Chains A and B, each alone.
Chain A
Amino acid sequence: MYKNFFRYLISAIFLLGFSVNSNADFKVGFVYVGPTGDHGWTFQHHEGRNAVEAAGIKTTFVESVPEGADAERVIRQLAQSGHDLIFTTSFGYMDPTNKVAKDFPNVKFEHATGYKREHPNVSTYSARFYEGRTLLGHIAGKMTKTNTIGYIASFPIPEVIRGINAMTLAAQKVNPNIKTKIVWVFTWYDPGKEAEAAQALIDQGADVIMQHTDSTAPVQTAEKAGVWSFGQASDMQRFAPKSILTSIIDDWAPYYVERAIAARDGKWNQQDTWHGLKEGMVAMGPYNSAMGADLVKEVEQLQKDLASGKVHSFTGPIYDQKGNILVAEGKVADDGMLAGMSVYVKGVEGDIPK
C-alpha cells in the first residue's frame, strides 16, 4: 500500500510537466512510418494532412517513426503538446496508440488499418482497397495476351491476400484462362527489389504487372519492358505513361478533413471506418486510352456498381484452393470474413508463405 502510494506520488510529480506545453488552438497530429518522400503510403497520408491544413486546421507530423519502442513516445509527445486529434498511420502503431489513448482521455486517436479500439477515444479506419483490385482484375483479364498476371506482394497479411483474391476472381470472370503468378518480396519498400520482382514476372511471361508494394519501380520496369501495369497508393501515371492502365489511389483527404472538423466541433465519435469507392477513400486514376473505349466504359460501369453496392467484389459462389465453399451462391462475404482472410481462392496458384 505504502509502496503504491509512493509510486503514484512520483508519477504525479512526473506528470506535472505535461500540462506546460498545452495550447488552446485545435491541432491535429500525424505519425508516419516512412519518410514523406517515399511517394507511396506515407506520401498519400501526407497529402491527406495537407488537405486538413488547407481546411484551416493546424497540423503537425512526425515522419519515419519506427514501429518499435519509439512510436509510443512520439504519439505521447503529440498528445502532450496540445494535439487534440492524432492519426497514427501504420498497423504497427496499434498497441502504442491504445496505450497512450488510455492516459489522454480528452485526446482523440485514429489508427489506420488496425482492429483494436480499447478505449472510447480510439477509432480505427481503413480503405476497401480490394474494390480497386476488382477493377484491376477485370482490366487485367481483358488486356492480357499471355493470360498471365504478375503480382508483387509484400507480406501475407489479410489485406494483401484479399487484394490477390479480389483481383483473381474478377479476372477469372472475364477470362477463365488467366493465371496469377505471385512473388513475395517481404518488404513494403525497396525499389531495387521491387524492380527485380517485376522483371522476373515479366520474364516468366506476365504481360500485366500489379503490385502491393509502395515504390514506383515496378511500373517503371513494366514501362521499359512494354507490358501493362497498375499504379499503387498514388497516381503513378507520370512514371509510366504508356504502361499504366490506371492506379488505385489511397485518398485519405476527405476522411481526414471530415474527422478533423468533427473533432474540432465536438462531434467526434468512436467508429470503425472501412470506406471504399463509394465514399472516395479508394479512388481510381485516369484510365489509359489504350484500353479502348468499350473496356473503359465497362470498367466505369463496374466502378459505379461497386460504389453503389450493386456488385460486390466477393460474391458467391467462391471456393478455396481445395474446392471447399467459402461463400455460398447468391451471398456476399461479410466484413468479418474479409477482415480475417487468410486463404487463397480457387485459381490462385501456389501457397501462402508461412
Chain B
Amino acid sequence: MSLDISFIGILIGSIMASSVPLILAASGELITERSGVLNLGVEGMMIIGAISGFALMVITDNLFIAIVGSMFSGVIISLIFGFLTQSLLTNHVATGLALTIFGIGLSAMLGKNFVGIPGKEFPILFSSLRESIPFFGPILFGHSIVLYFAFALPFLTNYFLKKTKLGLVVRAVGDSPVSASNQGINVIIVRYCCILYGGAMCGLAGAYLSLIYTPQWIENMTAGRGWIALALVVFATWSPIKVLIGALIFGGITILQLHMQAIGFRIPVQFLSALPYLMTIIVLVVISRDSRKIKLNTPTSLGRIFYKEK
C-alpha cells in the first residue's frame, strides 16, 4: 500500500462518508436524551426513514421531496413514541424497543414493491476540486449535501445547547424536570419536541443509506447501525462535538480493518467489530465513577418518566 499523503486523504474521505448515518442519528438521539428521554427506537426510526425516503424518490422522482419526506416519516414514527411515553407515561425502554421491532416489520411491509429498483444518482458537490487538490480534495470535496450537513450538525447542536435559550431549556428539562417545571417550563412539550427532532434526524440517517450511501431498498438494510448510534451518544458523553469524533473513530475502525485485510494482515475481525461497544462501556465507567463528572455529562433524569399533576 502506498502510504503517501494523498492516499490518506482518500482514506479519511471514505471514513467520513461511512460515519454520516452515525453522526445524524446520534446527534438526533443526543438532543432527545439531553431532554431526559431515552429512545431505544433509533434502529426502527432509521429503517422507516430509509424506506420512506427511497419510496418517495421512486414515486416522485424528486430527491428533495425524498429527503424531506424521510425526515417527516421519522417525525411521524417518533410521534408514536412521544405520545406513549409523554402523554401516556409509558416506560421508555419498553416503548423504544417496541418501536424498533415495529419499525423493522413496518418498513418491510411498506418496501415490498420497491425491492430491486436501482436508486438515483445523488448530486455530488465540487467534484472537480476533489480530483485536483491532493490530500484535502477527497476530504473536503466531492460529497453529497447531506454529508456537509452531518458534519456541521454537531457544531450547530453544540451551539444550540450551550448558547441559546432554548438549548438551556432542553438541558434544564433533562437535568431536573421538577425544577424546570416549577420555573414554568412545560416539560412535556419540550420533551415532545426533542423526541420528534430525534425522529427527524434518524429518518434522515436512514435516507442517507437508501438514497446516497447504498442507493437502493433492501429489507433490514440498516443492519444494526441504530444500536451503534445509541452507543455513540454514550461514548460521546452526551457532547455533540465528541459525537463527531466518536463517529469517525467508530467508522475508522471498520474502514481500517478492511484496509488491513486488503493489504494481507491477519486480524481478528470480530474483536475489532466489538471495540466500539467495549470502548463505550469503558467511557461509561470512567465518567460514571465520579459523581461530579456524571452530573456534568449525563442528563440526570435520563429515562425517567415525568408526570405533572394538574
Contacts and interface: CB of A to CB of B under 8 A. Distances in A.
Do A and B touch directly, given a CB cutoff of 8 Å in the complex? yes
Interface of A: 34-39, 43, 150, 181-186, 189-197, 199-201, 203-206, 215-217, 220-221, 238-239, 349-351, 353
A205 B10 CA distance: 11
Most buried by A among B2, B116, B258, B264: B258
Interface of B: 1-2, 7, 10-11, 14, 17-18, 21, 108, 111-112, 115-116, 118-119, 209, 213-223, 225, 254-255, 258-259, 261-264, 266, 269-270
A342 B7 CA distance: 34
B188 to A, nearest CB: 36
Contact of A195 (B213, B220, B263): B213
Nearest to A181: B262
Contact of A204 (B209, B259, B266, B270): B259
Given A192-B213, A199-B14, A217-B214, A43 B116 contact: yes
Contacts of B115: 36-39, 43
Contact of A200 (B119, B262, B264): B262
Nearest to A239: B118
Given A37-B108, A43-B116, A350-B266, A192 B218 contact: no
A191 B218 contact: yes
B264 A349 contact: yes
A37 B269 contact: no
A215 B214 contact: yes
B269 A353 contact: yes
Contacts of B254: 193, 196
Q: Which of A37, A43, A238, A349 has the most CB of B within 10 A?
A: A37
Contacts of A186: 269-270
Contact of B1 (A38, A189, A204, A353): A204
Given A182-B261, A350-B261, 9 more contacts: A35-B219, A150-B262, A192-B222, A196-B14, A200-B255, A201-B262, A204-B262, A205-B2, A206-B262
Contacts of B263: 181, 204
Nearest to A238: B118
B259 A203 contact: yes
A183 B269 CA distance: 10
Contacts of B112: 37
Nearest to A186: B269
Q: Which 4 A-B pairs have the closest CB atoms?
A: A200-B258, A37-B115, A217-B214, A191-B214
B101 to A, nearest CB: 14
A65 to B, nearest CB: 14
B8 to A, nearest CB: 10
Contact of B108 (A35, A206, A238): A35
A238 B112 CA distance: 19
Contacts of B11: 203
A229 to B, nearest CB: 14
A195 B264 CA distance: 19
Contact of B255 (A184, A190, A196): A196
B216 A200 contact: no
B218 A39 contact: yes
A184 B261 CA distance: 7
Contact of B258 (A196, A215, A349, A350): A196
Nearest to B17: A199
B214 A203 contact: no
Contacts of A238: 118
- Of B7, B218, B255, B263, most A-chain CB atoms within 10 Å: B218
B14 A200 contact: yes
23 contacts: A37-B112, A39-B216, A189-B223, A191-B209, A191-B216, A192-B209, A192-B221, A195-B214, A196-B254, A199-B17, A199-B255, A204-B1, A204-B259, A204-B262, A204-B263, A205-B1, A206-B262, A216-B118, A220-B214, A238-B118, A350-B264, A353-B266, A353-B269
A239 B218 CA distance: 13
B126 to A, nearest CB: 16
A192 B18 contact: yes
Contact of A184 (B18, B218, B269): B269
A221 B215 CA distance: 10
Contacts of B209: 191-192
B153 to A, nearest CB: 20
A185 B261 CA distance: 10
Nearest to A150: B262
Contacts of B119: 220
Contacts of A36: 115
A185 B17 CA distance: 19
B213 A203 contact: no
A63 to B, nearest CB: 9
